[in-house]
Amino acid sequence: MAESVQRILKRRALDGQHPTTAEEIIGWFEAAAGHWNEAPTPFEWGGKRAARRKRQHERRHRLGGSGAYTRRPTREKRTASNGHTQSK
């Protein structure tokens, strides 16, 4: 979770900035962290990204018993009365 916090702080502190010294970077990070601590953003595990992944998982279509998937359904094959297979 530390990397997530660092990524957010880096984006908030340095976005659009062009620091020239290490002291500037430190100051900007401290200011961003102080501002965020006034009204912290809660982390929501299983939020929008998890819902998006779940929808994508539900859209898959199995191919036979092979374990492979497609994004679009494939045509079903039917057996004709004479025993031959034909596409719909």
The rounded distance, in Å, linking the Cα atoms of 15 and 32 is 11
Compute the mean pLDDT over every residue in the chain, rounded to the nearest whole number: 79
AA letter at 52: R
pLDDT class of 74 with cuts at 50, 70, 90: confident
Angle between helices 2-14 and 22-38 (to 10 degrees): 110
Mean pLDDT to the nearest integer, 42-69:
78
Domain ranges, ordered by start, for the chain? 2-38
Of residues 20 and 69, more confidence is placed in: 20
Sign of the dihedral through C-alpha 14, 18, 24, 26: positive
Percent of the chain's residues with pLDDT above 70? 80
**pTM assigned to the model:** 0.45
Q: What is the pLDDT of residue 30?
A: 92
Q: What is the pLDDT of residue 86?
A: 58
The rounded distance, in Å, linking the Cα atoms of 88 and 76 is 7
